[in-house]
Amino acid sequence: MAKLHIEPKQSEEGEDGAEFQVVEDEGILAWDADSELLVVGQSYPRLEGREKVTGRARYSSDVRLPGQLYARVLRSPYPHARIRNIDITKAEQSPGVHAVICAANVPRIAWYEESVLFDATVRLVGDEIAAVAAESDELAQDALRLIEVDYESLPFVTTIEEALRPDAPKVHDGGNIAGEPTTYERGDPESGLHEADVVVTGDFETPCALHNAFESHGCTASWEGDSLTLWDSTQAIFVVRQQVAEKLKMPEHRVRVIKQHMGGGFGAKQIPWKHDVIAALLSKQAGRPVQLLLDREAENMAAGNRNPTRQHVQLGAKRDGTLTAIVARIEQSAGAYRTGGEASNVSGTYQTLYRCPNVRTEQTAVYTNTGPAVAFRAPGHVEAAFALEQAMDELARALDLDPVALRRRNYAEVDQLEDKPFTLPEGLRLSYDRVTETFGWGERTAQPADSVKRRGVGFAAHDWSGGTGHPPGYAWIELNSDGTADVVTGTQDIGTGARTGLAQVAAEELGLPLANIAFQLGDTATGPYSPVSSGSATQATIGPALRAAAADVKAQLLEVASVVLEIGVGRLSVRDGRVLVDGDTERAIAVGEVMQKIAPHTLQARGARAPNPADMTIRTFGAQCVELEVDTETGEITVLRIVTAHDCGRIINPALVDSQVVGGVTQGVGFALSEERIVDTRLGIVLNANLEEYHVPTVADVPVIEHARVGVPDSAANSTGAKGIGEPPLIPTAPAIANAVFDAIGIRFRAGPLTRQRVLAALAARETNGSGEADS
């Protein structure tokens, strides 16, 4: 029996819901740097690799059920309008159509704060108005055209600037300020600025970036009596289950959510979207399974983005580089709705990355008539790093200090928000060391002979509040009578390789080879609760729960072995599928052989994620160096080399960690150089909601990315010593690139991305007025 403690929950501001938390202690010692691990630390190929490369892996979009219908959603062509009337009769009579739903024939289902599923007011181009399920996708599209909608167009705003004007059209009745602005202050920022020898000030702007995961959003819904099954491309099967059940007024146990494989989510799939419920409603009405996949346009209009920001930043420092003040005023666009999953704490890194006694951040979110923002790989931190890390670079130059030296001088040994030590306080320092050594920071780059091309190097650091893992999260293990094990969790592998990294933890603790583990996840009906796979949390949340379950099973196994071998448990251990006897190698016996003795009995246990340490703060850190070349005539930027180091605690599987690093940095290159949603301010339309004009980097744009692994276990963080790596690599890339561009050509780009348009305009402006500042 697990030892449960029920404690009042430390309520976070404004949070409602559960009032108590269940605390379960794993009661096992953390693996530390001296632990001799056999399976953990090895680059095993992905467990599902063979399935994927042979095309057998079934993604949510591959689901084909007997009688399945295909759905399409009618979306608003107006950025802001009232719907006077909708007529679906013609669509209902269209060939092959089995269901048409709109506000008139579905219950009012609350969505996005005070709005509803099919609202009478549409607030963005792409807002959902009605939906059709038909025998083919084409027939569904044909029927969509037959829906007649009478709109009353309303005035709208698409930019932060417009939204904040006193006479601006209101996105919501309550005005354009989304939620309560947040202010944080410590010390006395004014006197901090006053006592500074140097103050740098800058206005920065970050673009709206679109997630564009390989696999777009979508699900398939199927009813069996009163029970609903959803195959959903989601990062959070249990959240989808809970929310869909709530919206449809069903008990949770009648909703099953399945997600086996996913082509990425990057945060956009961490919340349930309207299409989950729309598919379920259509399927109910049609009496047949319904598949609803969003196309690229739809997802890029209405299913999430990285919020654009404006950041006014001031840094004050003494001549020796000691920071005396950090002040940031931040405005961000939430889009038309707050989804509840935007998690964009832009202020955070200003408060924590550097030691500074005087800090103030003010953060205001505004509504605009554009797609709603949702978390995007390291939300908030990516945006903030672009500004803060460029401002630090400016400060270093103003003080004539090396940018890395400036950062080392302001090293934060403790979490200044809560005055607690970090679980691995040297994490950032180790990242600085590894990245600068590997890159050869400080060695001057040779300029090419062609004086038109200028080379530069840039540096940026980051911290990240994610990667920590947290309770609750559970795992079940059953050791079979042949010595193999079934390992079950309800977490999800969103394309990161989580299956493999987690199975390695279970195998290690059980003392079994990885091949003897069958690992199951991604199904609410067969696995225990696991939280959303966001915040780089999956490994650090579920890994310790698996270890706890495995330790329990192992203890049971040793008891059995002790009886079978007639040797005290104290002399027994398990390794690589064999029970070993201390001091007597001859008597080692295969786990399967032990289990045969008690067959058909099996050994089972559950494990729960223990709480994080109360008196310490877990954080992930990192730093990046970039070398690039700027063509001063054509504005072309060629990134030559990126070296990156991250403290993600113990590296469970080096190949998988490297692949997260390469993917993250690649996304950072896109954020720096080419990715930007373009909205026509007079039409409210996203002009590049596709992969043709929204430019994600190609292989030709991405340089060699070298991961200078840190790999020091963070044993105070959790029992595996591993933290997350999914989000961090992207955070410092854009500012490191912008800093390298400054190094190369002496122009500071405070608005991104650094397209030809921006680079050439800045070069031309310098020609005419000699300034080293780029307009936005």
Partner 1 sequence: MKPFDFARPDTIAAAVALLDGRDASRPNRSALLAGGTDLLTLMKADLYAPELLIDIKRLAELDNRIEETAEGLTIGALVTLSQLEDDPRIQSLVPALAEAAALAATPQLRHMATIGGNLLQRPRCWYFRKPGIHCWLKGGDDCPARQGENQLHALFDVSPCVAVHPSDPATALLALAASVRLRGAAGERELPLAAFFAPPTDERRQETVIGNDELIVSIQIPAAAPGTRSTYLKAMNRKVWAFALAGVAAAIHMDGNRIAQARLALGGVAPVPWRAESAEQVLTGAEPSPEIIARAAESALASAEPLAHNGYKIPLAKALVRRALTRLTAPAFPGA
Distance (Å, rounded) from C-alpha 647 to C-alpha 610? Answer: 22
Among 697, 711, 721, 732, binds partner 1 (CB under 8 A): 697
> Smallest gap, in angstroms, from Cβ of residue 767 to partner 1?
9
Residue 356 vs 637, nearer CB to partner 1: 637
**Residue in this structure with the two tokens 């829906």, named with its chain if needed:** 147
Q: How far is CA 434 from CA 623, 643, 722, in A?
A: 9, 9, 18
Of 380, 391, 322, 404, which Cα lies nearest the Cα of 645?
A: 404
> Smallest gap, in angstroms, from Cβ of residue 683 to partner 1?
7
> Smallest gap, in angstroms, from Cβ of residue 321 to partner 1?
37
> Smallest gap, in angstroms, from Cβ of residue 301 to partner 1?
11
Q: Is 727 a catalytic residue?
A: yes
- Decide: 223 and 283 in contact? Cβ < 8 Å: yes
Residue 23 vs 683, nearer CB to partner 1: 683
Residue 708 vs 762, nearer CB to partner 1: 762
> Smallest gap, in angstroms, from Cβ of residue 261 to partner 1?
24
> Smallest gap, in angstroms, from Cβ of residue 432 to partner 1?
31
Residue 125 vs 353, nearer CB to partner 1: 125
Instruction: Establish if 187 lies at the interface with partner 1 (CB under 8 A).
Output: no
- Decide: 348 and 363 in contact? Cβ < 8 Å: no
Instruction: Establish if 678 lies at the interface with partner 1 (CB under 8 A).
Output: yes
Residue 77 vs 613, nearer CB to partner 1: 77
- Decide: 718 and 424 in contact? Cβ < 8 Å: no
Instruction: Establish if 674 lies at the interface with partner 1 (CB under 8 A).
Output: yes
Distance linking the first and last C-alpha atoms of the chain? 62
- Decide: 236 and 533 in contact? Cβ < 8 Å: yes
Of 714, 479, 427, which Cα lies nearest the Cα of 593?
A: 479
Site for partner 1 in 752-771 (CB under 8 A): 755-757, 760-761, 763-764
Residue 663 belongs to what H/E stretch? helix 654-673
Distance (Å, rounded) from C-alpha 298 to C-alpha 547? Answer: 41
Residue 546 vs 774, nearer CB to partner 1: 774
Residue 40 vs 130, nearer CB to partner 1: 130
Range 218-236 burial, b when 16+ CB lie within 10 A, else e: bbbbbbeeeebbbbbbbbb
Instruction: Establish if 698 lies at the interface with partner 1 (CB under 8 A).
Output: yes
Q: From 51-59, 263-271, 553-561, 679-687, give the range in contact with partner 1 by CB under 8 A.
A: 679-687
Binding mask 712-751 for partner 1 (x = CB under 8 A): ----------------------------------------
Instruction: Establish if 122 lies at the interface with partner 1 (CB under 8 A).
Output: no
Q: From 23-31, 209-217, 248-256, 691-699, give the range in contact with partner 1 by CB under 8 A.
A: 691-699
Instruction: Establish if 391 lies at the interface with partner 1 (CB under 8 A).
Output: no
Q: How far is CA 149 from CA 84, 90, 122, 279, 728, in A?
A: 8, 12, 12, 21, 45
Residue 23 vs 760, nearer CB to partner 1: 760
Q: Copy the structure tokens of residue 426.
A: 């040297």
Distance (Å, rounded) from C-alpha 290 to C-alpha 131? Answer: 11
Binding mask 578-607 for partner 1 (x = CB under 8 A): ------------------------------
Q: Helices 381-399 and 733-745, interaxial angle, to 10°?
A: 30
Distance (Å, rounded) from C-alpha 10 to C-alpha 724? Answer: 24
# of chain residues touching partner 1 (CB under 8 A)? 32
Among 141, 201, 447, 776, binds partner 1 (CB under 8 A): 141
Q: From 50-58, 102-110, 439-447, 685-693, give the range in contact with partner 1 by CB under 8 A.
A: 685-693
> Smallest gap, in angstroms, from Cβ of residue 262 to partner 1?
24
> Smallest gap, in angstroms, from Cβ of residue 305 to partner 1?
17
> Smallest gap, in angstroms, from Cβ of residue 766 to partner 1?
12
757: left (phi over 0), alpha (psi -120 to 50) or beta: alpha
> Smallest gap, in angstroms, from Cβ of residue 154 to partner 1?
17
Among 673, 716, 722, 741, binds partner 1 (CB under 8 A): 673
Residue 62 vs 701, nearer CB to partner 1: 701
AA letter at 180: E
Instruction: Establish if 701 lies at the interface with partner 1 (CB under 8 A).
Output: yes
Residue 575 vs 756, nearer CB to partner 1: 756
Q: Copy the structure tokens of residue 483.
A: 């010595």
Site for partner 1 in 68-87 (CB under 8 A): 77
Distance (Å, rounded) from C-alpha 464 to C-alpha 385? Answer: 10
Instruction: Establish if 695 lies at the interface with partner 1 (CB under 8 A).
Output: yes
Length of the chain: 776
Distance (Å, rounded) from C-alpha 128 to C-alpha 109? Answer: 13
Instruction: Establish if 688 lies at the interface with partner 1 (CB under 8 A).
Output: yes
Instruction: Establish if 446 lies at the interface with partner 1 (CB under 8 A).
Output: no
AA letter at 183: T
- Decide: 703 and 633 in contact? Cβ < 8 Å: no
Instruction: Establish if 135 lies at the interface with partner 1 (CB under 8 A).
Output: no
> Smallest gap, in angstroms, from Cβ of residue 667 to partner 1?
14
Among 13, 692, 768, 770, binds partner 1 (CB under 8 A): 692
Instruction: Establish if 60 lies at the interface with partner 1 (CB under 8 A).
Output: no
> Smallest gap, in angstroms, from Cβ of residue 678 to partner 1?
5
343: left (phi over 0), alpha (psi -120 to 50) or beta: left
Distance (Å, rounded) from C-alpha 494 to C-alpha 259? Answer: 9
Q: Which is catalytic among the residues 161, 727, 767, 773?
A: 727
**Residue 767: how many CA atoms within 13 Å on its side-chain side?**
8
DSSP per-residue letters across 331-378: EEEEETS--S-----TTHHHHHSB--S-EEEEEEEEE-SSPPP---SS
Residue 409 belongs to what H/E stretch? helix 403-409
Binding mask 610-649 for partner 1 (x = CB under 8 A): -----------------------xxxx-x-----------
Among 680, 746, 771, 776, binds partner 1 (CB under 8 A): 680
Residue 53 belongs to what H/E stretch? helix 49-53
> Smallest gap, in angstroms, from Cβ of residue 761 to partner 1?
5
Residue 599 vs 687, nearer CB to partner 1: 687
What are the phi and psi torsion angles at 217 (to 5°)?
-65, 150
508: left (phi over 0), alpha (psi -120 to 50) or beta: alpha
Q: How far is CA 592 from CA 229, 511, 598, 708, 749, in A?
A: 37, 12, 10, 40, 63
Residue 635 vs 649, nearer CB to partner 1: 635
Q: From 24-32, 390-398, 561-569, 677-685, give the range in contact with partner 1 by CB under 8 A.
A: 677-685
Instruction: Establish if 90 lies at the interface with partner 1 (CB under 8 A).
Output: no
Residue 128 vs 415, nearer CB to partner 1: 128
- Residues acting as catalytic residues: 727
Residues in touch with partner 1 (CB under 8 A): 77, 138, 141, 633-636, 638, 673-674, 678, 680-683, 685, 687-688, 692-693, 695, 697-698, 700-701, 755-757, 760-761, 763-764
